[in-house]
Amino acid sequence: MLRRAFSLACLAGICAPVWAQQTPSWQETVVVTATGDETRADVIPAATSVITAADLRAAGAPQIAESLRGVAGCVLLRSGLDNGVTSLFVRGVSPSQTLVLFDGVRLNSPFFGGYDFSLPLTLGLDRIEVVRGPYSALYGADAVGGVVQLIPARAASSRVQAFVEGGDGWRRGELEAAFRGDGYDVSASAGTRAGDGPLPNDGFSSSAALLSVGATLGDEARLGVVLDHASSLSEIPFSGGQATPHRSTEASQTVLAAPLHLRLDGQGDVEATASYVTSALVYRDPDDPFGFVRGDTTVESRGLRVAYHTARGQHRLIVGGEWRQDTVSDSSNFGVNLDGHDIVTRALFIQDTWTLAKRWSLLAGARWDDAQPWGAVVSPRATLAWSGQGARLWAAYGQAFRAPGLGELYYPFSGNPSLRPERSRSSEVGAALPLAGGRSVLQIVAFANQQHELIDFNLASYRFENIARARERGVELSWIAAAAGDSEIAASVNYWQTSDDAGQPLLRRPTWSGALSWHGRLVGRLEGYAAVVYVGARADADPVSLQRIEEGGFLTASLSASLRLTSFLAARLRVENVANRAYEEVRGYPAPGRRVLLGLETFLQ
């Protein structure tokens, strides 16, 4: 099925010049994450993907997670309904080994690592950037498989927009406003969604709000303030084979950042961001056999990052530093586990993009991170690239690491203050080839990743130790093409071979996965979107016996359509799991069945 779909997509790409005349959107898309500088996506010699605001609107899904399913090199798996724990696997590495940023601010948990993609909504975003490969040389810890960065929107003009949606036990409402004046811009958004599952105590709800304010200080500086808040409630109907009629979890995260961009007259640019992130996780089960069971975790992170950008002859330099303090408190009905334990990380980094000749360039950089108790780590990265006639070829090597979480270091009984960072060595070769007169791009990347010093729980010593190793190798193929009516077709195919130190495949990493999507104008004022996602068979663990099992693959499709009724009103239709397939992304957690959702959207400018 996947092979047939991709063959059809390639055939469409060959025919693209016949029915595509507009400028492809990716030729106008800017990426920051891959190099640290604003660079057009179609000239970067790296494995990158960008999900634009237009892409997010066409799909219509409220969660960022759903948009990531079609990204090359990525597999996303969710435990049941919409607010179930959602893990992103990039190039087969652990979900805790992919760094998540919000406008340059780190979101990964310093408790046990990782990031739950069930929390963030698409509301108020300008784009999502995904870069694959080791990026600790630029961003430090956790950037082993890659980096996902969420970029909030800035007001380009004044407008107000509202959206409501419902159906099949689903409720959703969103409001966005933007104002732009002489020397300032303001973007604000707020939204909520809620739904019910098929079982008792199977509901979920989420809310989000985002405020972005910017002021231009003359011609040389811009100062901004960004405030983002998201919260969710998830009811848990069962655990293994046992009903849990009152079990629930609540999660929240607030990000406050103050970015400053200062242009030095003829000498380069300075970017500085001060940030504060706080998050909370609350667990409750009054019916547990051991009595009322609760868990409360609060996390605070304070940070400052400064980078100086300058061009000197054939060199584009970035030099900077970063300071961050992470604090965790955790308690349960059994007592206090962590009481304000903290860790301070200091870092310095440098990167040089050197134009060697007309078509050749070399990007080289390194970063030094230091924190107690795990010590210092140096992470290098280098990319040699050739470009010509719209094509790009590159070869890259890098080292990356994941720092031990405060829970792994200090949790009662199992914590180990002697833990060292997890380390990786990665290499890749890639090519991006223009087709159909530049209106289609085929990208293929082969990678190999070796990890050592992985942190695992040692049953013999009953604590965390650096005892594991892993390997990930594979090929990721992506293709995008402009078609008639301002529409686009995109396809991706992933092939992974993963193994642990015993030679067994890593859990929840499929050998094959991929996606195919289309969005654009159907006829008149009617626009459409269609997507198919395939995830192949993979190893998993049975939630009751904890035994290793084989989980079957799944194929699911979604549709969306928008009809502009007037200049200020549109009707939307969205269908999830079109074929109403029964499947599990994670063993023991059935995925939702088909949903048919209707919505209305208003526009005021």
User: What structural domains does the chain harbor?
Assistant: 2-604 (2.40.170.20)
Token pair, residue 392, equals 């790009």
For residues 521-534, average pLDDT: 95
pLDDT at res. 280: 97
- CB burial of 371-394 (b: ≥16 within 10 Å; e: otherwise) equals beebeebebebebbbbbeeeebbb
On whether the CB atoms of residues 508 and 545 are closer than 8 A, the answer is no
pLDDT at res. 43: 86
**pLDDT digits over 168-186, tens only?**
889 999 999 999 999 899 9
Token pair, residue 341, equals 């334990």
According to DSSP, the residues that pair with 152 across neighbouring strands are 125
Report the 10 Å Cβ neighbour count for 218.
8
Indicate the pTM of the whole model: 0.94
pLDDT at res. 12: 39
For residues 476-482, average pLDDT: 94
* DSSP code, position 121: B
On whether the CB atoms of residues 117 and 77 are closer than 8 A, the answer is no
How far is Cα of residue 258 from the mean position of the Cα atoms in its chain?
Answer: 22
- Residue reference for tokens 């198919």: 532
How far is 255 from 21, CA to CA, in rounded Å? 42
Which of the residue ranges 288-292, 503-507, 524-528 would you say has the lowest mean pLDDT?
288-292
Q: Which among 163, 161, 228 has a CA at the least distance from the CA of 193?
A: 163
Q: How confident is the model at residue 199 (pLDDT cuts 50, 70, 90)?
A: confident
Task: Please give the helix or strand (H or E) that residue 2 lies within, else none.
Answer: helix 2-19
Report the 10 Å Cβ neighbour count for 460.
7
Sequence-separated (6 or more) residues with CB below 8 Å from residue 563 = 525, 526, 527, 570, 571, 572
What are the CA-CA distances from residue 532 to residues 204, 482, 516 (Å)?
25, 18, 5
**pLDDT digits over 443-453, tens only?**
999 999 999 99
The amino acid sitting at 244 is T
How far is 444 from 542, CA to CA, in rounded Å? 35
The amino acid sitting at 575 is V
pLDDT at res. 27: 62
On whether the CB atoms of residues 70 and 88 are closer than 8 A, the answer is no
pLDDT at res. 169: 86
pLDDT at res. 605: 73
> Could you tell me the strand order of the sheet in which 98-102 lies?
47-52, 125-132, 146-152, 98-102, 105-106
DSSP of 251-266: EEEEEEEEEEEEEETT
**pLDDT digits over 123-141, tens only?**
999 999 999 999 999 999 9
Token pair, residue 264, equals 């030095």
Sequence-separated (6 or more) residues with CB below 8 Å from residue 128 = 50, 51, 56, 64, 67, 68, 148, 149, 150, 151
* DSSP code, position 50: E
User: 206, exposed or middle or buried, with CB in 10 Å at 0-12, 13-18, 19+?
Assistant: buried
Return the SS3 of 581.
coil
**pLDDT digits over 11-56, tens only?**
333 333 334 445 566 566 778 889 999 888 888 899 999 999 999 9
